[in-house]
Amino acid sequence: MMIRAGIIGATGYVGSDLVRILYHHPEVELKLLTSKNHKNQSYNSVYSNFNKICEMICDEDDLDSAINQLDIIFLSLPHGVTSSILTDKILKNVKVIDLSADFRLKSVDEYVEWYNIKHSNANLLKKAVYGLSEWKREQIKNSKLVANPGCYPTCALLCLLPLIKEGILEEEHIIIDAKSGVSGAGRSLNLGTHFSESNESTKAYNVLSHRHTPEIDQELSEVNGNEISVIFTPHLIPMNRGILCTCYGILKKSYNYEDIKKIYEDNYENEFFIRLMKKNDLPETRWVKGSNYCDIGFSLDEKANRIIIVGAIDNLVKGGAGQAVQNMNLMFDLEENIGLKSIPMFPV
Protein backbone atom coordinates (compact mmCIF):
# COMPACT_ATOMS: atom_id res chain seq x y z
CA MET A 1 0.00 0.00 0.00
CA MET A 2 1.34 3.42 -0.98
CA ILE A 3 2.29 5.94 1.70
CA ARG A 4 -0.05 8.93 1.46
CA ALA A 5 2.04 12.05 1.97
CA GLY A 6 1.31 15.76 2.28
CA ILE A 7 3.52 18.82 2.48
CA ILE A 8 2.35 21.80 4.51
CA GLY A 9 4.27 24.77 3.15
CA ALA A 10 5.20 23.26 -0.19
CA THR A 11 6.34 26.34 -2.10
CA GLY A 12 9.56 27.20 -0.29
CA TYR A 13 12.86 25.91 -1.63
CA VAL A 14 12.93 22.88 0.69
CA GLY A 15 9.26 22.24 -0.08
CA SER A 16 10.05 22.26 -3.78
CA ASP A 17 12.80 19.68 -3.32
CA LEU A 18 10.42 17.56 -1.23
CA VAL A 19 7.92 17.57 -4.10
CA ARG A 20 10.70 16.70 -6.56
CA ILE A 21 11.93 13.75 -4.49
CA LEU A 22 8.55 12.40 -3.40
CA TYR A 23 7.15 12.59 -6.93
CA HIS A 24 9.63 9.90 -7.96
CA HIS A 25 9.43 7.85 -4.75
CA PRO A 26 8.06 4.40 -5.68
CA GLU A 27 6.28 3.93 -2.34
CA VAL A 28 4.69 7.39 -2.01
CA GLU A 29 1.53 8.98 -3.33
CA LEU A 30 1.64 12.75 -2.94
CA LYS A 31 -1.88 13.71 -1.88
CA LEU A 32 -1.68 17.25 -0.53
CA LEU A 33 0.33 20.42 -1.12
CA THR A 34 -0.43 23.61 0.77
CA SER A 35 0.83 27.16 0.47
CA LYS A 36 -0.16 30.31 2.31
CA ASN A 37 1.17 32.59 -0.45
CA HIS A 38 0.03 30.54 -3.46
CA LYS A 39 -3.32 29.16 -2.33
CA ASN A 40 -5.50 27.82 -5.19
CA GLN A 41 -2.62 28.02 -7.68
CA SER A 42 -1.34 25.00 -9.54
CA TYR A 43 2.07 23.88 -8.35
CA ASN A 44 3.59 24.11 -11.82
CA SER A 45 2.54 27.76 -12.02
CA VAL A 46 4.74 28.44 -8.99
CA TYR A 47 7.66 26.31 -10.21
CA SER A 48 7.72 25.92 -13.97
CA ASN A 49 10.18 23.01 -13.77
CA PHE A 50 7.10 20.94 -12.78
CA ASN A 51 5.26 21.67 -16.06
CA LYS A 52 3.57 18.50 -17.33
CA ILE A 53 4.69 16.81 -14.10
CA CYS A 54 2.84 18.24 -11.11
CA GLU A 55 -0.42 20.06 -11.72
CA MET A 56 -1.70 19.72 -8.15
CA ILE A 57 -3.49 22.74 -6.72
CA CYS A 58 -2.01 24.32 -3.60
CA ASP A 59 -4.55 24.04 -0.80
CA GLU A 60 -4.84 26.01 2.43
CA ASP A 61 -2.99 24.97 5.59
CA ASP A 62 -5.55 22.79 7.37
CA LEU A 63 -3.91 20.09 9.47
CA ASP A 64 -7.14 18.86 11.02
CA SER A 65 -8.59 17.81 7.67
CA ALA A 66 -5.23 16.59 6.35
CA ILE A 67 -4.83 13.89 8.99
CA ASN A 68 -7.86 12.02 7.67
CA GLN A 69 -6.34 11.46 4.25
CA LEU A 70 -2.61 11.10 4.98
CA ASP A 71 -0.10 8.73 6.55
CA ILE A 72 2.68 11.31 6.91
CA ILE A 73 2.87 15.09 6.91
CA PHE A 74 5.97 17.13 6.18
CA LEU A 75 5.74 20.51 7.91
CA SER A 76 7.87 23.05 6.08
CA LEU A 77 6.74 26.15 7.94
CA PRO A 78 8.41 29.16 9.60
CA HIS A 79 9.87 28.70 13.07
CA GLY A 80 7.23 29.09 15.75
CA VAL A 81 4.29 28.04 13.57
CA THR A 82 4.59 24.26 13.92
CA SER A 83 4.56 24.28 17.71
CA SER A 84 1.37 26.34 17.64
CA ILE A 85 -0.59 23.97 15.36
CA LEU A 86 0.75 20.48 16.12
CA THR A 87 -1.19 18.49 18.74
CA ASP A 88 -1.28 15.04 20.33
CA LYS A 89 -4.50 14.39 18.46
CA ILE A 90 -2.74 14.93 15.13
CA LEU A 91 0.13 12.62 16.10
CA LYS A 92 -2.31 9.85 17.01
CA ASN A 93 -3.53 9.82 13.42
CA VAL A 94 -0.49 10.64 11.30
CA LYS A 95 3.29 10.67 11.43
CA VAL A 96 4.99 14.06 11.23
CA ILE A 97 8.37 15.32 10.09
CA ASP A 98 8.95 18.93 11.08
CA LEU A 99 11.48 20.87 9.04
CA SER A 100 11.40 23.95 11.28
CA ALA A 101 13.45 24.32 14.45
CA ASP A 102 10.46 23.98 16.79
CA PHE A 103 11.29 20.50 18.08
CA ARG A 104 15.05 20.29 17.58
CA LEU A 105 16.10 21.80 20.90
CA LYS A 106 15.15 19.95 24.07
CA SER A 107 15.16 23.10 26.19
CA VAL A 108 12.27 25.53 25.75
CA ASP A 109 14.29 28.27 27.44
CA GLU A 110 17.12 27.79 24.98
CA TYR A 111 14.67 27.85 22.08
CA VAL A 112 13.17 31.15 23.25
CA GLU A 113 16.64 32.62 23.85
CA TRP A 114 17.97 31.78 20.37
CA TYR A 115 14.82 32.16 18.28
CA ASN A 116 13.21 35.00 20.23
CA ILE A 117 9.73 33.54 19.79
CA LYS A 118 7.37 31.66 22.07
CA HIS A 119 7.28 27.87 21.99
CA SER A 120 3.64 26.79 22.12
CA ASN A 121 3.92 23.07 22.81
CA ALA A 122 6.69 22.11 25.20
CA ASN A 123 5.00 18.79 26.02
CA LEU A 124 5.66 17.44 22.53
CA LEU A 125 9.41 18.02 22.91
CA LYS A 126 9.56 14.77 24.89
CA LYS A 127 8.07 12.86 21.96
CA ALA A 128 10.23 14.40 19.24
CA VAL A 129 13.31 12.61 17.94
CA TYR A 130 16.18 14.59 16.45
CA GLY A 131 16.31 13.27 12.90
CA LEU A 132 20.00 12.94 12.13
CA SER A 133 19.40 9.72 10.25
CA GLU A 134 22.79 8.05 10.54
CA TRP A 135 23.01 8.65 14.28
CA LYS A 136 19.41 8.33 15.48
CA ARG A 137 18.23 5.51 13.24
CA GLU A 138 16.55 3.28 15.83
CA GLN A 139 14.82 6.17 17.62
CA ILE A 140 13.53 7.51 14.29
CA LYS A 141 12.08 4.13 13.36
CA ASN A 142 9.90 4.16 16.47
CA SER A 143 8.91 7.83 16.42
CA LYS A 144 5.78 9.60 15.21
CA LEU A 145 7.40 13.07 15.40
CA VAL A 146 10.81 13.69 13.89
CA ALA A 147 12.56 17.05 14.08
CA ASN A 148 14.54 17.33 10.87
CA PRO A 149 17.98 18.85 11.64
CA GLY A 150 19.13 22.21 10.35
CA CYS A 151 21.36 22.28 7.29
CA TYR A 152 24.53 23.54 8.99
CA PRO A 153 24.20 21.13 11.94
CA THR A 154 23.68 18.19 9.58
CA CYS A 155 27.02 18.78 7.89
CA ALA A 156 28.94 19.78 11.02
CA LEU A 157 27.63 16.92 13.15
CA LEU A 158 28.30 14.26 10.54
CA CYS A 159 31.88 15.53 10.39
CA LEU A 160 32.48 15.73 14.13
CA LEU A 161 30.42 13.00 15.80
CA PRO A 162 32.76 10.04 15.10
CA LEU A 163 35.62 11.84 16.84
CA ILE A 164 33.38 13.11 19.64
CA LYS A 165 32.07 9.57 20.18
CA GLU A 166 35.64 8.34 20.59
CA GLY A 167 36.43 11.21 22.97
CA ILE A 168 39.63 12.17 21.19
CA LEU A 169 38.98 15.90 20.64
CA GLU A 170 39.62 18.68 23.14
CA GLU A 171 35.97 19.62 23.72
CA GLU A 172 36.62 23.30 24.44
CA HIS A 173 38.56 23.98 21.24
CA ILE A 174 36.16 23.02 18.44
CA ILE A 175 35.73 25.63 15.71
CA ILE A 176 33.32 25.32 12.78
CA ASP A 177 33.70 27.58 9.77
CA ALA A 178 30.74 27.01 7.43
CA LYS A 179 29.76 28.46 4.08
CA SER A 180 26.35 28.22 2.43
CA GLY A 181 24.71 29.14 -0.83
CA VAL A 182 21.96 31.76 -0.80
CA SER A 183 19.09 29.24 -1.00
CA GLY A 184 19.74 28.60 2.69
CA ALA A 185 18.12 31.97 3.41
CA GLY A 186 14.83 30.78 1.90
CA ARG A 187 12.67 32.14 -0.91
CA SER A 188 11.27 35.21 0.85
CA LEU A 189 12.51 38.60 -0.30
CA ASN A 190 15.61 39.63 1.62
CA LEU A 191 17.91 42.50 0.72
CA GLY A 192 20.97 40.53 1.80
CA THR A 193 20.35 37.82 -0.80
CA HIS A 194 19.52 40.09 -3.76
CA PHE A 195 21.87 39.41 -6.67
CA SER A 196 23.65 42.75 -6.53
CA GLU A 197 24.05 42.47 -2.75
CA SER A 198 25.44 38.93 -2.60
CA ASN A 199 27.14 38.34 -5.95
CA GLU A 200 30.94 38.75 -6.04
CA SER A 201 31.03 38.87 -2.25
CA THR A 202 31.46 36.58 0.74
CA LYS A 203 30.39 37.58 4.21
CA ALA A 204 30.17 36.18 7.72
CA TYR A 205 26.78 36.66 9.34
CA ASN A 206 25.15 36.10 12.73
CA VAL A 207 28.60 35.76 14.25
CA LEU A 208 28.36 34.15 17.72
CA SER A 209 24.57 34.33 17.44
CA HIS A 210 23.50 31.88 14.74
CA ARG A 211 20.48 29.80 15.74
CA HIS A 212 22.07 26.52 14.69
CA THR A 213 24.77 26.83 17.36
CA PRO A 214 22.76 25.36 20.28
CA GLU A 215 21.61 22.53 18.02
CA ILE A 216 25.21 21.54 17.31
CA ASP A 217 26.17 21.91 20.98
CA GLN A 218 23.20 19.79 22.11
CA GLU A 219 23.94 16.83 19.87
CA LEU A 220 27.71 16.83 20.43
CA SER A 221 27.17 17.03 24.20
CA GLU A 222 24.71 14.14 24.17
CA VAL A 223 27.17 11.81 22.44
CA ASN A 224 30.19 12.98 24.43
CA GLY A 225 28.53 13.00 27.83
CA ASN A 226 30.05 16.38 28.70
CA GLU A 227 28.80 19.84 27.85
CA ILE A 228 30.34 21.08 24.62
CA SER A 229 30.17 24.63 23.31
CA VAL A 230 31.56 25.17 19.82
CA ILE A 231 32.59 28.33 18.01
CA PHE A 232 30.42 28.41 14.90
CA THR A 233 30.66 31.03 12.16
CA PRO A 234 28.46 30.81 9.04
CA HIS A 235 29.23 32.60 5.77
CA LEU A 236 27.10 33.45 2.76
CA ILE A 237 28.70 32.80 -0.61
CA PRO A 238 27.34 33.64 -4.08
CA MET A 239 26.06 30.26 -5.24
CA ASN A 240 22.60 28.69 -5.16
CA ARG A 241 23.14 25.38 -3.38
CA GLY A 242 25.62 23.75 -1.08
CA ILE A 243 27.29 23.88 2.31
CA LEU A 244 30.96 23.42 3.07
CA CYS A 245 31.88 22.95 6.74
CA THR A 246 35.49 23.21 7.83
CA CYS A 247 35.85 21.95 11.39
CA TYR A 248 39.00 22.58 13.42
CA GLY A 249 39.97 20.47 16.41
CA ILE A 250 42.84 19.66 18.75
CA LEU A 251 43.47 15.98 19.50
CA LYS A 252 44.00 14.90 23.11
CA LYS A 253 47.03 12.85 22.14
CA SER A 254 49.02 11.84 19.08
CA TYR A 255 47.20 9.96 16.30
CA ASN A 256 48.30 9.09 12.79
CA TYR A 257 46.24 9.24 9.61
CA GLU A 258 45.32 5.55 9.73
CA ASP A 259 44.01 5.89 13.31
CA ILE A 260 41.60 8.66 12.30
CA LYS A 261 40.65 6.95 9.06
CA LYS A 262 39.66 3.82 10.98
CA ILE A 263 37.39 5.83 13.29
CA TYR A 264 35.52 7.26 10.32
CA GLU A 265 35.36 3.90 8.57
CA ASP A 266 34.06 2.16 11.70
CA ASN A 267 31.21 4.67 11.83
CA TYR A 268 30.47 5.30 8.17
CA GLU A 269 31.87 2.56 5.95
CA ASN A 270 28.44 0.96 5.54
CA GLU A 271 26.49 4.22 5.35
CA PHE A 272 25.02 4.70 1.87
CA PHE A 273 24.95 8.51 1.99
CA ILE A 274 28.33 9.15 3.63
CA ARG A 275 31.26 9.20 1.22
CA LEU A 276 34.70 9.26 2.82
CA MET A 277 37.38 10.94 0.74
CA LYS A 278 40.75 9.44 -0.06
CA LYS A 279 43.89 10.77 1.58
CA ASN A 280 44.79 14.29 0.41
CA ASP A 281 41.37 14.73 -1.21
CA LEU A 282 38.83 17.07 0.35
CA PRO A 283 35.12 17.57 -0.41
CA GLU A 284 33.72 20.20 -2.75
CA THR A 285 30.12 21.35 -2.92
CA ARG A 286 29.95 20.81 -6.68
CA TRP A 287 30.20 17.03 -6.21
CA VAL A 288 27.11 16.74 -3.96
CA LYS A 289 24.63 19.18 -5.50
CA GLY A 290 21.14 17.80 -5.99
CA SER A 291 21.94 14.70 -3.94
CA ASN A 292 21.52 13.30 -0.43
CA TYR A 293 25.23 12.55 -0.07
CA CYS A 294 27.59 13.98 2.51
CA ASP A 295 31.26 13.94 1.55
CA ILE A 296 33.80 13.99 4.38
CA GLY A 297 37.57 14.30 4.35
CA PHE A 298 40.24 15.36 6.82
CA SER A 299 43.81 16.57 7.11
CA LEU A 300 46.00 15.83 10.10
CA ASP A 301 48.91 17.74 11.62
CA GLU A 302 50.51 14.90 13.57
CA LYS A 303 53.23 17.07 15.13
CA ALA A 304 50.80 19.60 16.60
CA ASN A 305 47.95 17.11 17.24
CA ARG A 306 45.61 19.23 15.13
CA ILE A 307 42.93 18.00 12.76
CA ILE A 308 40.79 19.73 10.13
CA ILE A 309 37.65 17.94 8.97
CA VAL A 310 35.83 19.13 5.84
CA GLY A 311 32.29 18.17 4.91
CA ALA A 312 30.07 19.05 1.96
CA ILE A 313 26.32 18.63 1.47
CA ASP A 314 23.51 20.08 -0.60
CA ASN A 315 21.76 22.28 1.97
CA LEU A 316 18.31 21.70 0.42
CA VAL A 317 18.66 17.91 0.11
CA LYS A 318 20.81 16.25 2.78
CA GLY A 319 20.39 19.46 4.76
CA GLY A 320 16.61 19.49 4.28
CA ALA A 321 14.25 17.59 1.98
CA GLY A 322 16.47 14.55 1.31
CA GLN A 323 17.13 13.87 4.96
CA ALA A 324 13.41 14.29 5.65
CA VAL A 325 12.62 11.58 3.09
CA GLN A 326 15.42 9.42 4.52
CA ASN A 327 13.72 9.76 7.91
CA MET A 328 10.35 8.92 6.37
CA ASN A 329 11.82 5.74 4.93
CA LEU A 330 13.03 4.77 8.40
CA MET A 331 9.65 5.56 9.99
CA PHE A 332 7.87 3.26 7.53
CA ASP A 333 10.49 0.49 7.65
CA LEU A 334 11.50 0.99 4.02
CA GLU A 335 14.92 0.67 2.44
CA GLU A 336 16.60 3.81 3.74
CA ASN A 337 17.86 5.07 0.40
CA ILE A 338 14.73 4.40 -1.64
CA GLY A 339 13.81 7.43 -3.72
CA LEU A 340 17.14 9.08 -2.86
CA LYS A 341 19.68 7.42 -5.11
CA SER A 342 20.03 10.35 -7.50
CA ILE A 343 23.59 10.99 -8.64
CA PRO A 344 24.83 14.51 -7.84
CA MET A 345 24.33 16.98 -10.71
CA PHE A 346 27.39 18.36 -12.49
CA PRO A 347 27.84 20.86 -13.98
CA VAL A 348 25.04 22.90 -12.49
Q: Where are the alpha helices (DSSP H) in the chain?
A: 13-23, 43-46, 63-66, 82-85, 88-93, 108-115, 137-141, 151-166, 195-198, 213-224, 257-268, 322-331
In this structure, how many other beta carbons lie within 10 angstroms of the beta carbon of residue 231?
Answer: 14
Using CB atoms within 10 Å of the CB of residue 115, give its burial: 0 to 12 exposed, 13 to 18 middle, 19+ buried: middle
* HEC assignment per residue over 16-48: HHHHHHHHCCCCEEEEEEECCCCCCCEHHHHCH
Among 151, 155, 245, 294, the one annotated catalytic:
151
Closest by CA position to 101, among listed 14, 223, 194, 189: 14
Distance CA 111, CA 103 (A): 9
Is 294 designated active site?
Answer: no
In this structure, how many other beta carbons lie within 10 angstroms of the beta carbon of residue 199?
Answer: 10
Cross-strand partners of 233: 177
Q: Cα(first)–Cα(last) distance of the chain, in Å?
A: 36
Distance CA 340, CA 336 (A): 8
Whether the Cβ atoms of residue 12 and residue 186 lie closer than 8 Å to each other: yes
Closest by CA position to 217, among listed 208, 124, 82: 208
Which residues have a Cβ under 8 Å from the Cβ of 138 and sit 6 or more positions away? none
Using CB atoms within 10 Å of the CB of residue 281, give its burial: 0 to 12 exposed, 13 to 18 middle, 19+ buried: exposed
The DSSP H or E segment spanning 7 is strand 3-8
Whether the Cβ atoms of residue 157 and residue 219 lie closer than 8 Å to each other: yes
Question: Residue 305 region, left (φ>0) first, then alpha (ψ -120 to 50), else beta?
Answer: left
Q: At what angle do helices 151-166 and 257-268 cross, to 10 degrees?
A: 120
Residues classed as catalytic: 151
